[in-house]
């Protein structure tokens, strides 16, 4: 319950939207991991404002390492990165600072921080914090790829338009994952993508906003990660996913679809395939009893519509404690779901790295010669 | 990522389904909290097997305190409780112990624990661990009630039958919560309840099983609990909820329903009411930016159908590594959703107590005279 | 700051001296570690009251496993052990329960637990809690020995009598460590041991008590364990050592002797020996910059004299808030230092296991093929 | 076991001695604490190189806040501060970078970080990291003072010269503490101070170095802080104190002096004084059973002599794995003990703040009306 996630690998996010800088501190990395800065910039690019369906705030997001990186590799000590806030336009926020914006954290942060928080632009609760989050996690994403673990997220649904689902065919799924990580607008079916962007623009034209459902697939995980109960893979992933601003639901495999199934359909039968144990269906999303079973881990989140809309809204003046009306100006995304895909990928990478550390930490205790080199 | 939840208040669950005992260790309690044993037994009763729609294993669930309780009150030191396993019938499990039961953790636990786990009856991943969980959390539920915080869970949906939703009218919601905690079968509408039980029996008759959706409401929380990002109330609650066996999805407020909304409808307008700031709708489920806003906290989980069904299933023999068929015998619930309501209440109580400790821990730093007595 | 130690391996101690039982919960163990019960009993025997220099309370210390052990091996889930309190004589304590015993935790526990603690026999702060501590840690000691890591503690000083120091010759040190773990009274020089026991008996005869200094040596550790600053080996070990009741000082290597040295003597020169890097002296006790360097880790603690003495003492009546005199009866050790040696060994084992988990947890991130089996 | 200390209040130190910057991230602060920058600079000044007895590296130590501070007060979110490294002279270190300096962490860090660490100037293990440490803790020191808790450290012994001890008279002790925080060279007796500085210079003249013993007193603490066993005040303080580079021993109250005492002298008798319970002596240093008793908390650390001396030393060439000789050049303190006093004060402040959060966190559970505002 703090600004820090994790136990073996930890990530702390710092900064306010309109403060000097936003940043991240990552600990628990081994020494000698390659820090791929072009890849980091690429991940940040996928997160950033692009074209007419996203806002005009276009920070260059230049990442500066303050510690933990030397000659392109991690040193094994705490890694600090910082992104200076350059393109912050506080004027638009100052004008209406006592009017609580519905759907935002204005009211709750005012109560919690007793008036001392820097709430300009959403303050510490702002989506801007996802920039250092994505930057830091990119190191883990690269590390996982070098171990054969791949992650990708697509817009399963947006503005009521549906995308194709992930394939159940391993070779096809692998290709879909590869393509998604190279696609500008993260969908599996291009025409769905075009319909989605049309619907987003339509909402924008009426001063409104839309949300969506993101679906992530992870392949290459060994079986046996996670713990029953408190350390379940669902618990660990959901904990991070719900940290992403605007996420209001998380489901694994068939998810809420289980409510309409009988056990005879919900259960995933097991069978041998190429001397491996696999399941014939994957309703459980690759996780049984909180532990991975080797099948692709599949999960979905719902991203609520962006709260900042241009229509008139009923609200309260926090200082005067009376009813008021609000009409937001400034720059706001009509939809952030597509930008959130790389954030969700990042969350998955962080969580998996943490799970692998947990699994690895006890290996020295197991039978046989041990190697501490 | 372990057997322990929490940072300020911690709960560790121990034991295997067919081992000597299952237990819980609870730390972080102040001294002097009344330990209400009749209430604890009442909570365990709500969890236990009842009637024809639940299994016949009827442990008396006698709780024994080994530490932390003296003369009916907490001592302020670690509290240990233990429930001996008396009614374990290992025979039914022994017969087919190399056949991996689909939907269970047999395969994943075999990989993870490398053959050393006591997997009889589901071992440590068994739902039996929810007994000490409910027992320990009952102390927190009682404590929260004494502070005006009330929690209740109903079967929003089961076997495709829907219950009424929670009321948006505060006085009615309060009454609904009170009633649920006194009801045998946790629904708001009795006829829905009867239809559900009919559907469950129908599934049982065909050797199958069904799942459901549980909905929880929490009232009486102050605004300002939780932290943006990693300490968000959604993250904290979801982490615990996904620890409950069979939970495969968690959503807050409108949840996955947000995917079909526009921002103009999704946003909850704010207004003054009796000199308090409230919202006119509650799509955000009482949480903004990860922090409570004072409105009822509403969330739902999906419980997948019980994996143990009596129909023939395709599986694998773990020892021989070949395909096989399995037909389970023994005692199995056709549905556990109704029994899970008190488990979900318990999880909510534990999480809220943890959030309150976090909030409280910094109060001494705030301006004004401080009181350490 | 709780009842629990550790992050990767965790140990929670539970119970009160005169409550139903004292216990320990150990998490973070891999599956498949042999649980050597005869060795555990042997360790408890070393801790227990023996002969005329120790008290007459002679619990059989029968350990019962409630979870985490199956057919003689750890299951990989939380391990719970319990020792029932059988030989508790509460009468002696009841008589003078409002008189605060000097040097004990009576006053501080009364303030902290606001009157609700079970303080009979010292309650939760009692040395009795070292029994489950030693029992649980014995599993780790055995595990470490199987990896070539050996630990032993001797009474460096007791009642102003000094023992020989540990040898700087590796082969001799190894033999000394082996012998100490088989010795009844833990000294390197038998005549020092006899003098110490004489001095202890002398103090007992006058109704008084004495303390001592314990010195521990650990061999077989790889270099590279621990972290600079907060994760230093000294920090981790001291944290546990100061948890042992009666420990009031901890020093590493030359310790407080450094105050009288110059750098030219304090520094340990490095040299090659059999293609290994070693130091010619070991003033730093095997630790540089918080990280092990491969040399034996040497540290000392001071055990204060047992507070329970039979002489008349000035004190306060806690209920009446007035001055009073106290004369303790009951059974009390004139010295506990010799019994504390196995407790100190146990603490070292727990800490080292934790450090190894931390080191191991990041190995999967390092270059080269990785093996998750 | 990481770069982070604490559970309620956490502090993470980042940076390498010759990297871009050193920094600190502090979480767990309430909103609205005044950030006193002049006081922070004053604390850093006390730590810095001064005059002929300290090195010539004189960083301006300009602190820049990147997050968590707004208009002079904490925001209640993660606080990041950064100090750019400007006066780093890497040349002197580069020349002999394969020669392991005795007494330093060169060898251990080379093993641990497998060659990837930036070890120039000591890298992450450098004493330079105490600068952000002192800066961050200054906020806590100020906060504690506003609650009537005062801390000060003096050089109890240095280069074999002794200072006067802290007074046992409360009014005198209070004055001594006040004076120490305003003194350039932290001693209670000025002539002892002059003798110490002479002895330091003498050692410097011969190219050698000396160490010392620091003694800290804390007044104003309530009774009841800390927990028996793992959360003992000694454990918590020692954990932090041993994080300070060069600390090799920690003792409380009479410390190692207990080894020569009998219980009749070691015990602190209790008595009433002005309706408070106090002890007539304070051998236990204000702590019983790991819990504060309201008396001044007194502890001492030993600072080993600075390892960097100008004399020729035997060592090993790490790259060639052969014996070698080393003669260090560059700028090195002949003694750092006097500069470490403010570091030890800082550690005490951090630990106490953490203990108060722990104590405070459960207050809402206690009987009576609760106030969440």
Q: Taking the C-alpha atoms of D101, D105, D108 and D114 in order, what is their torsion angle to the nearest 10 degrees?
A: -90
| C362·A357 Cβ contact <8 A | yes
pLDDT value, residue C91: 62
Determine the Cα–Cα distance for residues A59 and A41; give it in Å rounded to an integer.
12
- Measured between CA atoms, the residue of chain C closest to residue B68 is C15
pLDDT value, residue A367: 65
Greater model confidence, D49 or B326: B326
Helix (H) or strand (E) holding A5: strand A4-5
Give me the mean pLDDT over the A300-307 stretch: 97
> Does position C248 have pLDDT exceeding 60, yes or no?
yes
| Nearest Cβ partner for D222 among B8, B32, B372 | B372
| Nearest Cβ partner for A248 among B8, B255, B280 | B255
> Does position C1 have pLDDT exceeding 50, yes or no?
no
Give me the mean pLDDT over the B88-97 stretch: 64
Model pLDDT for residues A321-357, shown as the tens digit of each residue: 999 999 988 778 899 999 999 999 999 999 999 999 9
Contact A48, A55 (CB under 8 A): no
pLDDT value, residue A226: 95
- Measured between CA atoms, the residue of chain D closest to residue A1 is D8
Chain D interface includes C192 (CB < 8 A): no
> Does position A52 have pLDDT exceeding 70, yes or no?
no
* Nearest chain D CA: its distance from B234 CA (Å): 18
Question: Which one, of D217, D287, D40, D11, lies nearest residue D141 by Cα?
Answer: D40
Determine the Cα–Cα distance for residues C65 and C58; give it in Å rounded to an integer.
21
> Does position B336 have pLDDT exceeding 60, yes or no?
yes
Question: Which one, of A286, A269, A168, A277, lies nearest residue A221 by Cα?
Answer: A286
In residues, how long is chain C?
A: 373
List the single range of A61-65, A192-196, D123-127 with lowest mean pLDDT: D123-127
Model pLDDT for residues A82-103, shown as the tens digit of each residue: 999 886 666 656 666 789 999 9
pLDDT value, residue B1: 40
Model pLDDT for residues C315-373, shown as the tens digit of each residue: 999 999 999 999 988 778 899 999 999 999 999 999 999 999 999 998 899 866 566 65
Chain B interface includes D28 (CB < 8 A): yes
Chain B interface includes A205 (CB < 8 A): no
- Measured between CA atoms, the residue of chain D closest to residue B360 is D361
Chain B interface includes A363 (CB < 8 A): no
Tell me the chain A residues in contact with residue D78 when contact means C-beta distances shorter than 8 Å.
3, 12-15, 124
Tell me the chain A residues in contact with residue B262 when contact means C-beta distances shorter than 8 Å.
203, 208-210, 305
| Residues within 8 A of A (CB atoms), C 334-353 only | 353
| D75·A2 Cβ contact <8 A | no
DSSP D262: B
CA distances from B67 to A338, C129, C289 (A): 52, 12, 40
Chains that touch D (3 or more CB pairs under 8 A): A, B, C
Model pLDDT for residues D195-206, shown as the tens digit of each residue: 999 999 999 999
| Residues within 8 A of B (CB atoms), A 218-247 only | 223-224, 226-232, 234-236, 238-243, 245, 247
**ipTM of this model?**
0.95
| Nearest Cβ partner for A242 among B102, B238, B291 | B238
Tell me the chain B residues in contact with residue A292 when contact means C-beta distances shorter than 8 Å.
108
| Nearest Cβ partner for A365 among C143, C224, C358 | C143
* Nearest chain C CA: its distance from D199 CA (Å): 11
| Nearest Cβ partner for A360 among C28, C29, C364 | C364
| Residues within 8 A of D (CB atoms), C 263-282 only | 263-264, 266-272, 275, 277, 279-280
Determine the Cα–Cα distance for residues D214 and D221; give it in Å rounded to an integer.
20
Chains that touch A (3 or more CB pairs under 8 A): B, C, D
pLDDT value, residue C94: 64
| D4·A10 Cβ contact <8 A | yes
| Nearest Cβ partner for A264 among B8, B254, B309 | B309
pLDDT value, residue D204: 93
Model pLDDT for residues B262-276, shown as the tens digit of each residue: 999 999 999 999 999
Tell me the chain D residues in contact with residue C205 when contact means C-beta distances shorter than 8 Å.
none
Pick the most confident of C92-96, C116-120, D146-150: D146-150
Helix (H) or strand (E) holding A13: strand A10-15
- Measured between CA atoms, the residue of chain B closest to residue D31 is B366
| Nearest Cβ partner for A66 among D4, D20, D31 | D20
Helix (H) or strand (E) holding B233: helix B233-241
Give me the mean pLDDT over the B224-246 stretch: 96
Model pLDDT for residues D81-127, shown as the tens digit of each residue: 999 988 666 665 666 678 999 999 999 999 999 888 777 777 676 88
Chains that touch B (3 or more CB pairs under 8 A): A, C, D
pLDDT value, residue C56: 46
| D75·A115 Cβ contact <8 A | no
Tell me the chain A residues in contact with residue D4 when contact means C-beta distances shorter than 8 Å.
4, 10, 27
A–D CB contacts, 8 A cutoff, strictly below? 152
3-state secondary structure chain C: CCCEECCCCEEEEEECCCCCEEEEEEECCCCCCECCHHHHHHHHHHHCCCHHHCCCCCCCCCEEEEECEECCEECCCCEEEEEECCCCCCHHHHCCCCECCCCCCHHHHHHHCCCCCCCHHHHHHCHHHHHHHHHHHHHHHHHHHHCCCEEEEEEEEECCEECCCCCCCHHHHHHHHHHHCCCCCCCCCHHHHHHHHHHHHHHHHCCCCECEEEEEEEECCCCCCCCCHHHCHHHHHHHHHCCCCCEEEEEECCHHHHHHCEHHHHCCCEEEECCEEEECCCCCCCEECCEECCCCEEEEEEECCCCCCCCCEEEEECCCCEEEEECCCCCCCCCCHHHHHHHHHHHHHHHHHHHHHHHHHCHHHCCCCCCCC
| Nearest Cβ partner for A147 among C33, C360, C370 | C370
Contact D227, C123 (CB under 8 A): no
| A364·C356 Cβ contact <8 A | yes
| B19·C67 Cβ contact <8 A | yes
| B13·C113 Cβ contact <8 A | no
What mean pLDDT is reported for chain B?
91
Model pLDDT for residues A121-143, shown as the tens digit of each residue: 776 768 899 999 999 999 999 99
Model pLDDT for residues C171-213, shown as the tens digit of each residue: 999 999 999 988 889 999 999 999 999 999 999 999 999 999 9
| Nearest Cβ partner for D112 among A15, A76, A117 | A76
Determine the Cα–Cα distance for residues A189 and B207; give it in Å rounded to an integer.
40
Question: Which one, of D80, D60, D57, D58, lies nearest residue D68 by Cα?
Answer: D80
> Does position B59 have pLDDT exceeding 60, yes or no?
no
Percent residues over pLDDT 90 in chain D: 79
Residue of C222, C350, C365, C370 for testing the chain A interface, max A β-carbons within 10 Å: C365
Chain C interface includes D296 (CB < 8 A): no
Percent residues over pLDDT 70 in chain D: 91
| Nearest Cβ partner for A360 among C147, C224, C360 | C360
- Measured between CA atoms, the residue of chain A closest to residue C7 is A7
| B28·C67 Cβ contact <8 A | no
Determine the Cα–Cα distance for residues C37 and C43; give it in Å rounded to an integer.
10
Determine the Cα–Cα distance for residues B1 and A358; give it in Å rounded to an integer.
7
Determine the Cα–Cα distance for residues A175 and A150; give it in Å rounded to an integer.
11
What mean pLDDT is reported for chain A?
91
> Does position B219 have pLDDT exceeding 70, yes or no?
yes
Model pLDDT for residues C18-77, shown as the tens digit of each residue: 789 999 999 999 999 999 999 999 999 999 866 556 654 555 689 999 999 999 999 999
Chain C interface includes B179 (CB < 8 A): no
> Does position B56 have pLDDT exceeding 60, yes or no?
no
Tell me the chain B residues in contact with residue C25 when contact means C-beta distances shorter than 8 Å.
12, 14, 25
* Nearest chain D CA: its distance from B280 CA (Å): 24
pLDDT value, residue A260: 96
CA distances from B55 to B90, B334, D216, D335 (A): 16, 8, 64, 74
pLDDT value, residue A86: 81
Chain D interface includes B363 (CB < 8 A): yes
Neighbours of D304 (CB within 10 A): 30
pLDDT value, residue D344: 98
Residue of A144, A293, A362 for testing the chain C interface, max C β-carbons within 10 Å: A362
CA quadruple D129, D132, D135, D139: dihedral positive or negative? negative
């Amino acid at each position: 319950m703090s600004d820090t996630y994790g136990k073996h690998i930890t990530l702390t996010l710092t900064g306010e939207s309109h403060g000097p800088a936003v940043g991240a501190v990552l600990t628990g990395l081994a020494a000698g991991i390659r820090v791929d800065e072009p890849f980091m910039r690429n991940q940040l690019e996928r997160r950033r404002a692009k074209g007419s369906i996203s806002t005009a705030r276009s920070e260059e997001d230049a990442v500066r390492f303050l510690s933990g990186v030397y000659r392109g590799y991690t040193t094994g000590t705490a890694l600090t990165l910082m992104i200076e806030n350059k393109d912050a336009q506080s004027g638009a926020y100052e004008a209406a600072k006592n009017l609580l914006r519905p759907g935002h954290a204005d009211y709750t942060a005012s109560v919690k921080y007793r008036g001392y928080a820097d709430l300009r632009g959403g303050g510490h609760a702002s989506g801007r914090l996802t920039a250092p989050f994505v930057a830091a996690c990119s190191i883990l994403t690269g590390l996982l790829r070098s171990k054969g673990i791949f992650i990708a997220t697509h817009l399963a649904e947006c503005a009521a338009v549906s995308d194709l689902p992930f394939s159940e065919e391993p070779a096809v799924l692998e290709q879909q994952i590869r393509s998604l990580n190279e696609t500008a607008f993260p969908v599996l079916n291009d025409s769905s993508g075009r319909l989605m962007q049309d619907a987003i623009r339509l909402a924008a034209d009426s001063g409104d906003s839309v949300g969506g459902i993101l679906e992530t697939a992870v392949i290459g995980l060994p079986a046996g990660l996670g713990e029953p109960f408190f350390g379940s893979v669902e618990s660990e992933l959901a904990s991070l996913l719900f940290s992403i601003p605007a996420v209001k639901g998380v489901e694994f495999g068939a998810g809420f679809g289980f409510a309409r199934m009988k056990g005879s359909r919900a259960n995933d039968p097991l069978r041998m395939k190429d001397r491996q144990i696999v399941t014939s269906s994957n309703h459980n999303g690759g996780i049984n009893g909180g532990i991975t079973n080797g099948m692709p881990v599949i999960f979905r989140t719902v991203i609520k519509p962006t709260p900042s809309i241009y229509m008139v809204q009923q609200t309260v003046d926090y200082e005067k404690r009376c009813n008021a009306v609000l009409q937001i100006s400034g720059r706001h995304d009509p939809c952030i779901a597509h930008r959130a895909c790389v954030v969700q990928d990042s969350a998955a990478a962080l969580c998996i790295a943490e799970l692998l550390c947990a699994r690895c930490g006890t290996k020295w205790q197991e039978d046989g010669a041990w190697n501490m080199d």
